């Protein structure tokens, strides 16, 4: 058996989500190869070669893959899967992975499994459905299994200690159907939401965007990332990439502090696997208290500064 994993990277750094995906591949068994497709991404291939459990790194370095447009990368992956005989194609369930992998699956004429949280056997996997309110066990009947992996469900493999060989892939697919125009990247010195050990999130109760500064002060003391509920994003308090939930990011930190968040099904879907959940809300009936390990019924504008000074 052999697995091809699509590495998540920005042409200079291998993203941690890749390490969780390698862990899922190791659970399946067999050889693991990493594909680094990008432009000027030799450094990523070198990092990928160090990852524990990886036997081979395929480096496709070409301008056509620079922004990882699905129209160009999908045919490359489908071709590699067919010609190099991979039985599995895996990617992290990030926006990049979710954009790319279904396109690969359709090119291979196979179904795709989204967001798996457990490997039961070589062809059977667990995945959440209905916003995580049910867990389905599904068996794939296809020859090649194309799968995205929920990072928080698998402990990452070590980023170092491996010694894979790096092989250049020369195939160039440029569909010339799409063009990257630009990006607006939200800048933050805090840890990334999906890999943070501690997260403090604000909801509609924060009142406005400026009040998120209260959370940021606590976050800096705890080395935490700052998240938000959909209500806070929809109200324009903070940008959407901070959203935790079914349609935002799925997180499972050691500690999740929900401030002014009622706890709608949609939000719980994104954070209920956190180890310890704390809720700060003035409404003692808020559903968030049903999943919270520690609850503080109080006005957040008093409680959060108090929390800050107690740390």
Partner 1 sequence: MKILVGVKRVLDHNVKVRVRADGSAVDLDNVKMAINPFDEIAVEAAVRLKEEGVATEVIAVSIGPEKAQDTLRQALAMGADRAILVPHGGTTEPLSVAKTLKALAEKENAGLVILGKQAIDDDCNQTGQMLAALLGWPQGTFASGLSVTGEQIEVTREVDGGLETVALNLPAIVTADLRLNEPRFASLPAIMKAKKKPLESITAESLGVDLAPRLELVGVVEPPVRAAGGVIVATAAELVEKLKHAAAIA
Residues 266 to 285: which contact partner 1 by CB under 8 A? 266, 272, 275-279
Taking CA atoms, 261 is separated from 207, 224, 264, 272, 288, in Å, by 11, 17, 8, 13, 7
d(CA 21, CA 44): 16
Q: Bridge partners of 299?
A: none
201 near partner 1, rule: CB under 8 A: no
Q: SS3 of 115, please? A: strand
Binding residue for partner 1, selected from 1, 85, 130, 160, defined by CB under 8 A: 130
Q: Please tell me the number of Cα atoms within 13 Å of 223 on its side-chain side.
A: 5
Binding residue for partner 1, selected from 1, 84, 124, 160, defined by CB under 8 A: 124
Tell me the Ramachandran region of residue 207: left when phi exceeds 0, alpha when psi lies from -120 to 50, beta otherwise.
Answer: left
Shorter beta-carbon distance to partner 1: residue 161 or 294: 294
Q: Is residue 97 a contact partner of residue 24, using CB atoms and an 8 Å limit?
A: no
d(CA 80, CA 74): 10
56 near partner 1, rule: CB under 8 A: no
Q: Which stretch binds partner 1 (CB under 8 A): 33-41, 52-60, 125-133, 160-168?
A: 125-133
Q: Which of residues 8-47 bind partner 1 (CB under 8 A)?
A: none
Structural element, H or E, at residue 33: strand 31-38
Per-residue binding string, partner 1, 61-80, x by CB under 8 A, is ------x-xxx--x------
Report how many residues bind partner 1 under the rule CB under 8 A: 91
Q: SS3 of 4, please? A: strand
244 near partner 1, rule: CB under 8 A: no
- Other CB atoms within a 10 A radius of the CB of residue 205 amount to 22
Binding residue for partner 1, selected from 170, 186, 210, 285, defined by CB under 8 A: 186
258 near partner 1, rule: CB under 8 A: no
Per-residue binding string, partner 1, 203-242, x by CB under 8 A, is -------------------x-------x--xx----xxx-
Q: Which of residues 92-121 bind partner 1 (CB under 8 A)?
A: 94-96, 98-107, 109-115
User: Looking up tokens 């499972």, which residue turns up?
Assistant: 252
299 near partner 1, rule: CB under 8 A: no
For residue 47, the minimal CB distance to partner 1 (Å) is 19
């Amino acid at each position: 058996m052999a697995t091809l994993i699509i590495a998540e990277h920005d042409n200079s750094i291998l993203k941690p989500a890749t390490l969780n995906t390698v862990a899922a591949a190791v659970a399946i068994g067999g050889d693991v190869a990493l594909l680094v497709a990008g432009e000027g991404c030799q450094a990523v291939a070198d990092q990928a070669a160090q990852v524990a459990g990886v036997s081979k790194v395929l480096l496709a370095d070409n301008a056509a893959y620079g922004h990882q447009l699905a129209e160009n990368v999908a045919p490359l992956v489908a071709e590699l899967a067919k010609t190099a005989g991979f039985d599995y194609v895996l990617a992290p369930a990030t926006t990049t992975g979710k954009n790319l992998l279904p396109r690969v699956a359709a090119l291979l004429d196979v179904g795709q499994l989204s967001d798996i949280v457990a490997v039961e056997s070589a062809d059977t996997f667990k995945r959440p459905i209905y916003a995580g309110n049910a867990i389905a066990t599904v068996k794939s009947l296809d020859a090649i299994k194309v799968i995205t992996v929920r990072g928080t469900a698998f402990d990452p493999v070590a980023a170092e200690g491996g010694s894979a060989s790096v092989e250049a892939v020369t195939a160039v697919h440029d569909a010339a159907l799409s063009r990257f125009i630009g990006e607006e990247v939200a800048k933050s010195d805090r840890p990334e939401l999906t890999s943070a050990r501690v997260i403090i999130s604000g909801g509609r109760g924060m009142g406005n965007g400026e009040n998120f500064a209260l959370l940021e002060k606590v976050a800096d003391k705890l080395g935490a990332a700052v998240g938000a509920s959909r209500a806070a994003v929809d109200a324009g308090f903070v940008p959407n990439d901070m959203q935790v939930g079914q349609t935002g990011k799925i997180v499972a930190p050691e500690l999740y502090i929900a401030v002014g968040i009622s706890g709608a099904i949609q939000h719980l879907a994104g954070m209920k696997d956190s180890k310890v959940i704390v809720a700060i809300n003035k409404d003692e009936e808020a559903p968030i208290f049903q999943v919270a390990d520690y609850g503080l019924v109080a006005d957040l504008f008093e409680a959060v500064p108090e929390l800050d000074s107690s740390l």
